Amino acid sequence: MNETRVYSYRRFSSGRQASGHSLERQSASARAWCAENGYILDEDLVISDLGVSAFAGKNASEGALAVFLAAAKAGRIPRGSILLVESLDRLSRSAIHEAIGLLTSIVVSGVRVVSMIDGKEWNDETIKDTMNFMMSVLLFSREHEESATKAKRVRAAALKKRAAGLPVVTTVHGSGWLIPQDDLQGWLVDMAKAESVKKVFEMAAAGHGGVAIARMANEGKWQSPWRVRANTNTRWEHTQISRLLRDRRTLGEWQPKRMLNGELVTDGDPVLKYFPRIISDELWYSVQNALAGRSGPVRLRGIKGDIFAGLLYCSCGERMERKSAWQRGYARYYCLGRKAGTTNCTPLSEAVLVKEGLPFLARAESSSFSNHEAAIEARNALAAAQEKLKELSQKAANLIDALEQSGSSSYILDRLNVVEKEKAAVDALVEQKKAALTALPVSGYAFGDKIADEAEAAISDKSAVQARHRIASSLALILEKIVWHGSFIMFRTKSGEGIAQMIEKKSLKRVTRRDKKANLTAK
């Protein structure tokens, strides 16, 4: 048996090929070639560019082939070794000069390239054969032209369908919870997967983070809403949750894209009502508002341990950090500047925030905390309108930037005019929703005390995860920040208002918790 090292290079450009027969076919062909020619395939180093296209040349610059080339040039691949490819076009479908450079680089590094389809070998000697080398150059050229032509035809067909208002149904841009119809004229909803999508959004709207949602999904064995292929990990991950919560396909939108210099870029405006809608506007914007208000709250063993985290600031501008309760007292908040020794700002007891701050805020913003159905609907409607306004403002800013960069453009000006009109309409809608929320009946003085009692109970009980999430979510939805000025608390709401509350000096002293007193008495 010949001891020459033989390596197999496998490449395919789509996940669908990976789950099909492309990978196994290329592997089986390599083993068969070795058996027929008296070689042993080196299974320890199998070079696979899975999902990396040779048309853009990325396999040679970013993929496994690039690593193999570097190893060969560094002498870590023995000279005379063989690199098996199914055919030369598997190496590259880049522009002709790049393809020639790639083949030459491999051969010059001392590696022989063998095409299994026609048995052609390129090495130090055969590459000097001008006629044969030109034939390979022509092969590379033809493969590149065929790939470019195919890409243009596919794009032209898709553009023609879009222009005619017809659906461009393909799993490439379809989501995992949708199934293409047999006639490719539309989509069917996988109801079990769609239900999982709804659960994720509902949990996020309730204040749960990606880690917590992923844990609940795994424990509850929710069906994965993504396409499951061979060797796909079906375990829920927090990164998937994050992507799903920002995926506008849940709203039925599709953003066309195209390749530009090997990268996917947006191609025109999103197509509305392209997919079946899974999530309502109210739920979508409620989640986006919650995500925008989440500024990295401190978490304790995966549970939000501080309902004020990310909101509480000192008047000096530094964040305030929670320090756990000392002996029988309450937790206290300290300015990070004081902890660093650069300021001497006054600390704040959690008891003051919970017992005095929350009741005051709850009475001032009662409609924002009420669990009454009308209040919940009004809050969701306002959040949806505010998020839509923010989205349109960003679109307008992007169009203005594009106009400044490109100069006069009738298309951009027309789009800007449309967006500005939409923005004005939504701006009026926001004011209307604010008025509707303000008009709701106030629940009375005891309402604020009830909120404080709920918060105190949730903080005291480590198992009260849902309650802490709900309270923290409510605070994040209405507050921009809470600023401690040493003698008064300033609540800055997202509507731009400032609500100040004076705190008596005696309240700033350490106090013993009522539940701790009870425990001591019982002993």
Under 8 Å between Cβ of 33 and 118: no
- Joined tokens for residue 57: 């040349």
Q: For the residues 60-82, what does the mean pLDDT come to?
A: 72
H or E element, residue 484: strand 479-484
Confidence of residue 244 (pLDDT cuts 50, 70, 90): very high
Distance CA 479, CA 244 (A): 26
State yes or no: pLDDT of 195 exceeds 90.
yes
Burial profile 155-184: b = 16 or more Cβ within 10 angstroms, e = fewer: eeebeeebeeeebbbeeeebbbbbeeeeee
State yes or no: pLDDT of 517 exceeds 60.
no
Predicted pLDDT at 207: 74
Distance CA 111, CA 65 (A): 13
Rounded alpha-carbon distances, angstroms, from residue 131 to 93, 258, 514: 21, 38, 94
DSSP assignment of 362-378 equals HHHTHHHH---HHHHHH
Confidence of residue 49 (pLDDT cuts 50, 70, 90): very low
Predicted pLDDT at 199: 94
Find, among 507, 523, 203, 155, the residue nearest to 330 by Cα: 507
Q: Is the pTM of this model over 0.95?
A: no
Task: Please state which CATH number belongs to domain 6-147.
Answer: 3.40.50.1390
Distance CA 190, CA 201 (A): 17
Please count the other Cβ atoms lying within 10 Å of the Cβ belonging to residue 63. 20
Own/partner long-range contacts of 419-424 (Cβ < 8 Å, ≥24 apart): 419/392, 419/395, 420/396, 422/392, 423/389, 423/392, 423/393, 423/396
Predicted pLDDT at 62: 41
- Joined tokens for residue 158: 């898709």
Higher pLDDT, 346 or 460: 346
Task: Quickly list H helices, 93-129.
Answer: 96-108
Which residues, including other chains, have CB under 8 Å from residue 489's CB and lie 6 or more apart?
352, 353, 357, 360, 482, 483, 500, 501, 503
Predicted pLDDT at 378: 65
Predicted pLDDT at 374: 59
Distance CA 457, CA 21 (A): 58
Q: Worst-scoring range by mean pLDDT, 69-83, 143-157, 268-282, 436-450?
A: 436-450
Confidence of residue 95 (pLDDT cuts 50, 70, 90): low
Higher pLDDT, 146 or 320: 320
**Residue ranges per domain, the chain?**
6-147, 178-279, 295-365+465-523
Under 8 Å between Cβ of 492 and 431: no
State yes or no: pLDDT of 462 exceeds 90.
no
- Joined tokens for residue 173: 């841009």
Q: Worst-scoring range by mean pLDDT, 40-49, 164-173, 259-268, 497-506?
A: 164-173
Count CA within 13 A, CB hemisphere, residue 121.
11
Predicted pLDDT at 40: 85
- DSSP 3-state assignment of 384? helix
pLDDT in tens, 100-142: 777 788 888 899 988 887 778 888 888 888 787 777 767 666 7
State yes or no: pLDDT of 53 exceeds 80.
no
Mean pLDDT over the full length of the chain: 73
Q: For the residues 183-190, what does the mean pLDDT come to?
A: 81
Under 8 Å between Cβ of 479 and 364: no
Predicted pLDDT at 519: 42
State yes or no: pLDDT of 342 exceeds 70.
yes
Predicted pLDDT at 50: 35
State yes or no: pLDDT of 380 exceeds 70.
no
Under 8 Å between Cβ of 88 and 115: yes
State yes or no: pLDDT of 354 exceeds 70.
yes
H or E element, residue 334: strand 332-335
Q: For the residues 28-35, what does the mean pLDDT come to?
A: 84
Confidence of residue 293 (pLDDT cuts 50, 70, 90): low
Under 8 Å between Cβ of 412 and 402: yes
Predicted pLDDT at 158: 60
